[in-house]
Amino acid sequence: MDLVAQAPSPVLSLSRATAEGGCATVLSGAVKRMVRLLLFCAVSLPLTGQTQSTAFLSCWEGKDRGNFQSRRAKTGTAKSSGGFAYAETIAEATKDMGDAQFCKNKVQLFYSKDGKDYRVIYEKTGLEDQGVGIRVVGWSHAGSQLLAEVGVWGYDRDMDVVKSALALDSATGQVRELPLSDAFERVLGKDCEYDSSVVGWSSDDSVLVRVAKTPATTRYNQTFCVDKPTVYAFNLQSGNLQRSGP
């Protein structure tokens, strides 16, 4: 199998989420964006490569986006006393009868207690022409929980990334989404936006999340609630946030 390099697209650098979404920029009370469904007679292109960019894998590559093909990305294996885990992203390239190009992503998180028999414990497939990426952040200090971050974006429009944070409990093998958007709404208020990303673990029961001011745009009226980058600690037990540092 040929290996193809894939760099994250600069258009996907901004993260934004609705109140119903994940841990990225929150617009409380805003209407959910509808991703346009593209109805076409799809011709699948062969899966041709493996890259390292599981967070922002795309079917297009190069300055002029001239290299269009299906791609696969796989993370390294995260190991701890709680088990072994890795993630995979597939970007499926298709064309319609008019030779228009479309890309749809799927992500999977794999887990094994002994490093042998891996099983899929989380899977998310994008809609038509929708990107999905995943990033394995790492195991907690005690090795009992794994933290990951999933992002969703639209290829068919200038749409920002909507993120969510996942926690795997090795004792049960179950994955749950952390209610970060609700927690930040209680701290920062409603109808404001911010850019955020999961940093890592501060303790076995606490996750660090960095928030910052979003770039200015003319696409909509912005209401900011973050002036400078700030790190918060999210407690997995209580669901509360505490300011941790700049």
pLDDT score, position 222: 83
Please choose, from the candidates 178, 172, 160, the residue with its C-alpha nearest in 3D space to the C-alpha of residue 219: 160
- Whose tokens are 């009370």? That residue is 29
The pTM of this model reads 0.76
In terms of DSSP bridges, do strands 70-74 and 78-80 run parallel, antiparallel, or are they unpaired?
A: unpaired
Whether the per-residue pLDDT at 45 is higher than 60: the answer is no
Residues 145-197 have pLDDT tens digits of 999 999 999 987 656 788 999 999 999 999 999 999 999 999 998 888 888 89
What gap in Å lies between CA 229 and CA 226, rounded to an integer? 7
Identify the DSSP state of 216.
P
Q: Which residues contact 77 (CB under 8 A, 6 or more apart)?
A: 84, 85, 86, 115
- Nearest by Cα to 163 from 175, 186, 147, 180: 180
pLDDT value of residue 60: 92
Confidence of residue 105 (pLDDT cuts 50, 70, 90): very high
State how far the Cα of 216 lies from the Cα of 222, in Å rounded to an integer.
8
Number of Cβ within a 10 Å radius of residue 189: 12
